[in-house]
Structure 1
Amino acid sequence: MTHLFDDAARAGVLGHMNNDHPEDSLLIARAFTTDAEIVAASMTAFDGDGGEWVAELADGSTLPVRVPWPGGAITERREVRREIVALYDESCRRLGVEPRPHE
């Protein structure tokens, strides 16, 4: 059964991603979607199996993007960061972008 995170965890992660890392969400949406001209993206949800983003396309429409966690299912809030960082790194690899160092 998929692990569901509590409201505080969801609010914290989504607020951080959408306020501090919108460019990472854009990279992830672009890397895990094909044949779409994505101009912006925001993280909308996550659970123990993966993350969800909504991608904004050049024509004004939106596209849902769900990506499974690279390391498999998770159950702890601290694991979310690790998996998003792994998605970011994989997105950079797929798109030929030099990843920034992780703190």
Structure 2
Amino acid sequence: MSAPNPFPPEVVAAVMRHMNTDHADDCRLICQGLGGRPTATAATMSGMDAEAMYFAATVDGAPVPVRVSFSAPLTERRQIRAEAARMYREACAALGLTPRPDAS
């Protein structure tokens, strides 16, 4: 059973705008390392709820939906940044890459 989404549409839109503008490469890495799409050449965040971030990854030239779960359901906006950074660091580890030092 899904947890209710505690984030109104304007919060989701702001997070998506930030991720897609400032962290486009991180979105791709998250899809490659945690989303089961190792051949993704690009990805954009397409949504989120209390349990996961959603992406549209480009695989073989076509958009593919990708869901990457949070470590636990989120209840507050301040938790989003920490979870996005965790996803990035874990994706880097899964791909054998060194994360940026500022990814905390």
Q: CA deviation at 1:36?
A: 4.9
The equivalent residue for 1:27 is 29
The equivalent residue for 2:95 is 95
- Total equivalences in the alignment: 101
Instruction: Measure the CA separation in 1 of the matches of 2:32 and 2:38.
Output: 8
The equivalent residue for 1:40 is 42
Instruction: Measure the CA separation in 1 of the matches of 2:39 and 2:46.
Output: 19
TM-score, scaled relative to structure 1: 0.89
Question: What do the CA deviations read for 1:65-93 (whole angstroms, capped 9, x no partner)?
Answer: 101102x0111111011101000010010
Instruction: Measure the CA separation in 1 of the matches of 2:56 and 2:65.
Output: 5
Gaps of 5+ in 1: none
Question: What do the CA deviations read for 1:15-36 (whole angstroms, capped 9, x no partner)?
Answer: 0000011000000000124465
Structure 1 segments, 4+ long, off by >3 Å, are 33-36
Instruction: Measure the CA separation in 2 of the matches of 1:11 and 1:88.
Output: 20
The alpha-carbon distance between structure 1 residues 52 and 35, as it changes in their structure 2 partners (threshold 3 A), is: closer
The equivalent residue for 2:68 is 67
1:82 aligns with 2:90: no
Instruction: Measure the CA separation in 2 of the matches of 1:85 and 1:94.
Output: 14
Instruction: Measure the CA separation in 2 of the matches of 1:93 and 1:82.
Output: 16
| % same residue | 36
SS in 1 for 2:48: strand
The alpha-carbon distance between structure 1 residues 101 and 44, as it changes in their structure 2 partners (threshold 3 A), is: same
The alpha-carbon distance between structure 1 residues 35 and 18, as it changes in their structure 2 partners (threshold 3 A), is: closer
Q: CA deviation at 1:12?
A: 1.1
One-letter code aligned to 2:99: P
